[in-house]
Structure 1
Amino acid sequence: MKLTRTTYIIGLIALNIALDQISKFIVRAYVTPYETTELLGDKFILTNVENSGAFLSLGSDLNPTLKSIFLLLLPIVVLGYITYYIISNKTLDRFAIFGFACIIGGGIANVYDRILYGSVTDFFHIDLGGIFKTGVFNVADMSVMLGMGLLLYSNFITSKKAKQTAHK
């Protein structure tokens, strides 16, 4: 049985949501809030924090109305549009499709948390001693970042092909 393009896209989105929600379920069930567990020394840490804002807690101090607009309503509209865009745009390459699916899946997973819990569960932290340091993040955040990287790669490949075609 051959998967249709739309089924493939929806499957990728669902897989991203499932991986994120399963990981958050495990963290909520087994990791005490604010407790830290060293996974790779003090370089890679597992913890359990609730983020009531967006990326790096941005917007956590907004009043409830603005928080609902910027952290729930606007993301739902944007994620809906991006979903429509990738399903209807048949010219996207596989990197762009996979990238957009990761962004949509990660976005939906975090919006789901905000609706259900009023915050997003974050649990990974990386600190490579001044070379590289992150805030606390989750699988949905990793999905979004992977998706952004794939979109950049797709754009690079597409523009490179367009330049090669123009020079012929």
Structure 2
Amino acid sequence: MKFTKRTLYIFLVITITIVVDQVSKIIVRETIEPRTEISIGERIPVIEDMFILMNVENTGAFLGMGSDLNPTLRLIVLLILPIVVLGFVLRHILTDKTIDPWSLFAFSSIIGGGIANVYDRIVYGSVTDFFYIDLGGIFRTGIFNMADVSVTTGMFILLFVSLSKKKKKETE
């Protein structure tokens, strides 16, 4: 693999994503009382009850899905499979020079967020989630973290780029 500005950009986006996520989780773990089986934990309203910080250890994936799987299946689904997929995506973006800049940023953000959450599962046995948004029942999220924000942002960018390319082809 030749080290180019493009390769540097990919690894820079991945690294910044991981660092922002891990620093935010360290701050949350050190400053916010966690929710446990016997305690609801600390809830810190940032913008009234619409944006709340809390400390929740998620042993599953998105919204806790998979947390009740047996240990072997959880290892496969939440660690091995994501590592393999992230490796393939990284290989793809490093080798396919036709990927547009927005998609390159999106894929790099997804890889960085994925690595950050996989790291948590390996080191801590769970992923620290801490953001919660509730816009008066109109829009409500699960509890999430910066890695989730990176993955979701990357997916939205890919969707937007894909739809833009499709619309451009239809008008030609």
Give the alignment's TM-score, normalised by structure 2. 0.92
Amino acid at match of 1:71: L
- The residue correspondences of 1:53-64 to structure 2 (distance < 5 A) are 53-64=60-71
Amino acid at match of 1:160: K
Amino acid at match of 2:28: V
Q: How far apart are the structure 1 equivalents of 2:10 and 2:31?
A: 32
**Contact kept in structure 2, 1:122 and 1:136, CA below 8 Å:** yes
- SS across alignment from 2:57: strand
Aligned positions, number: 163
- SS across alignment from 1:48: strand
Residue 31 of structure 1 is matched in structure 2 by: 32
Percent identity of paired positions between Structure 1 and Structure 2? 57
CA RMSD of the aligned region, Å?
A: 1.0
Q: How far apart are the structure 2 equivalents of 1:156 and 1:125?
A: 29
Deviations 1:80-137 (A, max 9, x none): 0000011111111111001101110000000000000000000000011111000100
Q: Which runs of 4+ in 1 moved over 6 A?
A: none
Cα deviation for residue 147 of structure 1 reads 0.2
Residue 121 of structure 1 is matched in structure 2 by: 128
Cα deviation for residue 154 of structure 1 reads 1.3
Residue 52 of structure 1 is matched in structure 2 by: 59
Amino acid at match of 2:18: I
- Of residues 144, 147, 163 in structure 1, which corresponds to 2:154? 147
Amino acid at match of 2:45: E
Amino acid at match of 1:26: I
Q: How far apart are the structure 2 equivalents of 1:122 and 1:9?
A: 25
- Of residues 132, 143, 149 in structure 1, which corresponds to 2:139? 132
Q: How far apart are the structure 2 equivalents of 1:159 and 1:129?
A: 36
Give the alignment's TM-score, normalised by structure 1. 0.94
Q: How far apart are the structure 1 equivalents of 2:161 and 2:98?
A: 12
Residue 100 of structure 1 is matched in structure 2 by: 107
Q: How far apart are the structure 1 equivalents of 2:163 and 2:106?
A: 13
